[in-house]
Amino acid sequence: MLSEKTRQVITATVPVLEKHGTDITKRFYEMLFANHPELLNIFNHANQKQGRQQTALANAVYAAALHINNLEAIIPVVKQIGHKHRSLGIKPEHYPIVGQNLLAAIKDVLGDAATEEIIGAWAEAYGVIADVFISIEAEMYDQAEQQQGGWEGFRPFRVERKVQESDRITTFYLVPQDGGTIASFAPGQYISVKLDIPGETNTHIRQYSLSDAPGKPYYRISVKREDGQRDRPAGKVSNYLHQKVEQGDTLLLSAPAGDFVLNQEDARPLVLLSGGVGLTPMVSMLQASVAANAQRQVIFIHSTQNGDTHAMKAQIEELASKHSQLSVHWCYTQPTEQDRAAGAFEKEGYIDLAWLKQVLPTTDAAFYFCGPVSYMKAVHSYLTEMGAASADLHYEFFGPAADLG
């Protein structure tokens, strides 16, 4: 338990964290990797370069300080982060390293303002918060290993099939190399892929949503090739998977993880919205939903650039042809002339409020959405304006969490 004095000091530093949080976490990662370069084998370097990881950590630290008198309020966030930690292989011995460098970063950024009293209070608070993470993650490690078909760490899987879905998305069907059973998963969960890429100093780990329904003898992931833009480098892992990994090759996978999962007990209409490669968990949810309850109304809305980038279209339309309760809607932001001639899409341009009002028969539904952050911000705003309850809005970030407010 934290002392009352510590709680008061932490609460008093909340405004400081709001102002300097990202500066502190940026400095933290610089110090962490300088002192412990072996941790570069775990963290996503691209998220570091883009600043997404620093922002996500700053938000988590701020939330912990804000709720220091009621840490149970941040348990949902802890569980979300815990799933990612378990799939990456973060262990209890990493927490003292993180704490040491985080406190050093606070002192480095705040200078004389970080008094011994403040640093002492944060050291005490960090210990309590770390214990919460370690306890929750220990349960996750046990569950991943002890479930039927489960395992600890990373397990070798063979690429049974490799299928090009679109110009940018390729699907990999993965079966265990040992021929054993595999753990089931909840629709919406992901696995981590661990790669040693020739010429790269560090191991790379990336998380990919499972894009098929549970209950199959394989895992399926559908990976977008990140070609790179002015503000973002090309994806090392996605390009390696697309260009170098072939049928018969071996990949190391974690057991499925993640708390963005479909609630199949809810019988209300299900609305699945996706942008780009954000459709991967949506497809898993779609297939699982129609298999479990053919009478449940499902509305599947997908936005992409055009027909060339549209993955799994034929699969989803075939499913819709067999299930009268399933309706599909395509939104193309930059359709080709061939798309127009074929009537391949319903909405041209970006998804907007007026079109959603036409497509959605009710807001008394369960909404799940995933895609680029800008897409999710727009969808969240539109659904909120339409009157959808916040408890009915479920979403997943590819990478560190962000703010949709």
208 assigned binding-site residue: yes
Under the banding of pLDDT at 50, 70 and 90, the label for residue 404 is low
279 assigned binding-site residue: yes
* pLDDT exceeds cutoff 90 at 66: no
Instruction: Kindly name the residue from 29, 95, 368, 375 that is annotated as catalytic.
Output: 95
Sign, Cα dihedral of 62, 204, 250, 94: negative
135 and 191 share a domain? no
136 and 168 share a domain? no
CATH number of the structural domain spanning residue 310: 3.40.50.80
Looking at the domain assignment, is residue 286 inside a domain?
yes
Residues of the domain holding 160: 155-253
Alpha helices in 234-278 (DSSP H): 236-243
Residues 6+ apart with CB under 8 A from 32: 39, 97, 98, 101
352 and 235 share a domain? no
Mean pLDDT of 64-89: 88
Collapse the DSSP code of 162 into the 3-class scheme (helix H, G, I; strand E, B; otherwise coil) and give the result. Answer: strand
Exposure of 342 in the CB half-sphere (CA atoms within 13 A): 12
Instruction: Kindly name the residue from 29, 62, 126, 137 that is annotated as catalytic.
Output: 137
DSSP-based helix, strand, coil % in the chain, nearest 5? 45, 20, 35
CATH number of the structural domain spanning residue 13: 1.10.490.10
* pLDDT exceeds cutoff 90 at 67: no
* pLDDT exceeds cutoff 70 at 230: no
At 192-222, the pLDDT tens digits run 999 999 999 899 999 999 999 999 999 999 9
268 assigned binding-site residue: no
Q: Kind of pairing, strands 204-209 and 190-195? A: antiparallel
153 assigned binding-site residue: no
95 as an active site residue: the answer is yes
286 and 354 share a domain? yes
Residue 267 vs residues 1, 193, 261, 303: alpha-carbon distances, Å: 42, 34, 15, 25
Looking at the domain assignment, is residue 261 inside a domain?
no
137 as an active site residue: the answer is yes
How many CB atoms within 10 Å of residue 69? 12
At 100-131, the pLDDT tens digits run 999 999 999 999 999 999 999 999 988 988 99
DSSP for residue 232 = B
If one counts the domains in the chain, the total is 3
215 and 110 share a domain? no
Looking at the domain assignment, is residue 184 inside a domain?
yes
At 327-352, the pLDDT tens digits run 999 999 999 999 999 999 999 999 99
Using alpha carbons, select from 292, 312, 404, 403 the residue that is nearest to residue 300: 312
280 assigned binding-site residue: yes
Mean pLDDT of 290-303: 94
92 and 170 share a domain? no
173 assigned binding-site residue: no
167 and 202 share a domain? yes
At 344-375, the pLDDT tens digits run 999 999 999 999 999 999 999 999 999 998 99
Under the banding of pLDDT at 50, 70 and 90, the label for residue 70 is confident
How many CB atoms within 10 Å of residue 234? 12
275 and 354 share a domain? yes
Looking at the domain assignment, is residue 264 inside a domain?
no
399 assigned binding-site residue: yes
278 assigned binding-site residue: yes
231 and 287 share a domain? no
The listed range with the strongest mean pLDDT (29-38, 50-59, 217-226) is 217-226
pLDDT of residue 345: 94
pLDDT of residue 27: 92
